[in-house]
Chains A and B, each alone.
Chain A
Amino acid sequence: MKIVIRNSLFSFITFFLGACCLAVALQYSADSSGFPRAVALFLIILASADLIRTARGRTVAADAPEEVSLWDDRKYMTAALLVFLSAPAYVVLARLFDFEIATFVYLVVAMYALGLRRPILIVAVSIGALVIVKGLFFVLLDVTRSATLIIGT
């Protein structure tokens, strides 16, 4: 993706964010929303100025590459998808069953999905990580565990 398009896209998103926040902030009392209103307005002005600069062709930072990979970099998008889907899946597993089961299943599946093909290593690392995390957080630091929906502990 062209660097100019990427910069414009960021400015446009910032403009949109500023406009939405300003619209929401205007619904609150003036006493409570002076600061967010001012910041949102600042963002709108800044993003508009940057979009105008872009239109005039004066926006590219001197050290920026000519083109950058963004959505077109399949590796990054696949990785992002993996992270944003696998982690909520882990949370759901932990809520449904138990921390130990969820952690073990999650680690085994994640390592296998990332290309590790040594079953003994996968199982050993999963058990090791599980013991360390459980020992540190839930035994030593006594972090409260939520009741799970199926096992119920």
Chain B
Amino acid sequence: MFEDSLLGLAALMDPAMILAIAVGVIGGILIGILPGLTSTLGVALVIPITFSMPPQVGLAMLGGIYVASTYSGAITAVLLNIPGTPAAVATLLDGYPMSQKGEPTRALALSTFGSAFGGLISVLALLFLGPILAKVSLLFGPPEYFLLAVFGITVIASLSAGAMIKGLMAGGIGLLLSTVGYHPLTGEMRFTFGFPALFDGIPLVAALIGFYSIPEVIDMIARRDDKAPEATDGDKANPYRYIGEVLRQGTNLIRSSFIGVIVGIIPGVGASVGGFVAYDTAKRSSKTPEQFGKGSPEGVLACETANNAVTGGTLVPLLTLGIPGNPVTAVMLGGLMIHGLQPGAELFTANADIVFGFIFSLFISNLLLIPIGLVFAKYCVRIVRVPKAILAPIILLLSIVGTYSIRSSFDDIFIMFAIGAIGFFCQRFLVPRAPLVLGLVLGRLAESELERSLALVGGDIGAFGIQLITRPIALGLLLLSVYAVYQGYVQHKRHSKLLDD
């Protein structure tokens, strides 16, 4: 393996590789900033361009796009309270409040360093633990997947501290929204009312755009005469000065990276869930949990580290087993096959130079995120000073065109506005929005895996319950979920008591 690694490392000496990575990173950042454009779309659009390139160079560019677009959703999340990509939803919770406190540069610097660190750790995991971790992921059956979704949903309890019942209700509404469309096993249509655009369910990206951008645009218009928050004296400084602050949070960084890698390895879960779980864990472990949701640097660092650590994690089952864990890696599987590569154990022997070259190129992509990302961040920070009379119509325009671009469908725009109306009501009723998103994201996974688990035991709920406590991984996840709910309840009580005092 050592010799193979050296071959991959040697491939990086080719200037074309470095150029491809840099172009991929810049393109990925642009894609992540624009609402509606996701990593999947970015990778899919670039695959035809890579046809004519040598496999290593083409794959390096695809990897750069994947890594950078996952990161750059945080830029709009921090500055505008609108996640550029679904991966950045958890970043809103503390990134935007930091920006409102006059610390946008600090928030973006933490996001950038955290993303790069998480990405680097995930590449190391891919390099050294890939084959072992891939085997562990194969032990997950429907009951484990169901409990994994349940564990993700339990994060709601923590995200709603101070308004737990409203958070649970919002989570329930999100779960209900996730059931719109065909049933995963029987194919029966539910809650579509004959509207074809809903047959596949509520399009997640359109929903996220509507849920966050519409209320934000309304807020901008309503407060268009308010002055933009002034940057604090400290925030005007060089973003590189925040490296020290990032490194002081070593435990948070490593824990969040670990969470991101694990979530990434498990197919079908995704970067947004990784961000939420890491955020929740950071909050539970923090000495200042009351700062979470009000602009906590720990919160920003946790979710950004985790969502980029997911990238390397998702590549573990793809490269070692040929199983794409999310839509981006499914598209990347196509990219690998177009270049004549068949993922699986043989990939690491027959095409070792290419696969190790690809892994090392991901390492470089994550390193390049820092200088390139910070340059983008430096200029993007100026967005907050643009008059709201200009910014609001442009954001609305980008939201409409971005939503349209997903499926070239005008119907999606109306879905986006309908979800936007729900988001607006949540904002006005002071209902936490993150639980609703979490319900929407995880609901389909929870339902389909629950149905599959029940089908495996002939619909016998008792037998299903026994499965949950006799399968070691399922039992572990069950205990984790119970603990998460208990912790959420304790936090909620502590939060209420603190404010009562």
Contact = CB atoms under 8 A, between A and B. Distances in A.
B428 A76 contact: yes
Interface size class of chain A, counting residues whose CB lies under 8 Å from the partner chain: 35 or more
Interface of B: 30, 34, 37, 41, 45, 162-163, 165-166, 168-169, 172-173, 175-176, 179, 183, 185-186, 188, 190-191, 214, 217-219, 221-224, 387-390, 392-394, 396-398, 400-402, 404-405, 408, 410, 413-414, 417, 420-421, 424, 428-431, 443, 446-447, 450-451, 495-500
B345 to A, nearest CB: 36
8 contacts: A21-B176, A25-B191, A29-B186, A32-B190, A80-B424, A83-B420, A141-B37, A143-B405
Contacts of A110: 392-393, 396
Contacts of B397: 90, 103, 106-107, 129, 133
A144 B404 CA distance: 9
Contacts of A63: 162, 495, 499
B429 A46 contact: no
A90 B165 CA distance: 38
A36 B176 contact: yes
Given A39-B179, A115-B224, A90 B400 contact: yes
A136 B414 CA distance: 22
Contact of B191 (A24, A70, A125): A24
Given A35-B447, A68-B430, A107-B397, 13 more contacts: A9-B429, A18-B172, A29-B186, A31-B183, A36-B190, A39-B443, A79-B218, A84-B421, A91-B410, A107-B394, A114-B392, A125-B390, A133-B401
A95 B389 CA distance: 25
A4 interface: no
A46 B188 CA distance: 28
Given A29-B188, A76-B218, A42 B429 contact: no
Contacts of A80: 218, 424
Contact of B173 (A17, A28, A84): A17
B162 A46 contact: no
B45 A141 contact: yes
B310 to A, nearest CB: 24
A111 B390 contact: yes
Contacts of B447: 35
Interface of A: 6-7, 9-11, 14, 17-18, 21, 24-25, 28-29, 31-36, 39-40, 42-43, 46-47, 49-50, 53, 61-64, 68, 70, 73, 75-76, 78-80, 82-84, 86-88, 90-91, 95, 103, 106-107, 110-111, 114-116, 121, 125, 129, 133, 136-137, 141-146
A35 B165 contact: no
A100 B169 CA distance: 42
A142 B176 CA distance: 35
A44 B25 CA distance: 47
Contacts of B402: 137
B400 A42 contact: no
A53 to B, nearest CB: 8
Contacts of A46: 165, 168-169, 172
A146 B408 contact: yes
B225 to A, nearest CB: 8
A21 B214 CA distance: 25
A90 B218 CA distance: 16
B405 A137 contact: yes
Contacts of B424: 80
A53 B390 CA distance: 45
B165 A83 contact: no
A111 B424 CA distance: 22
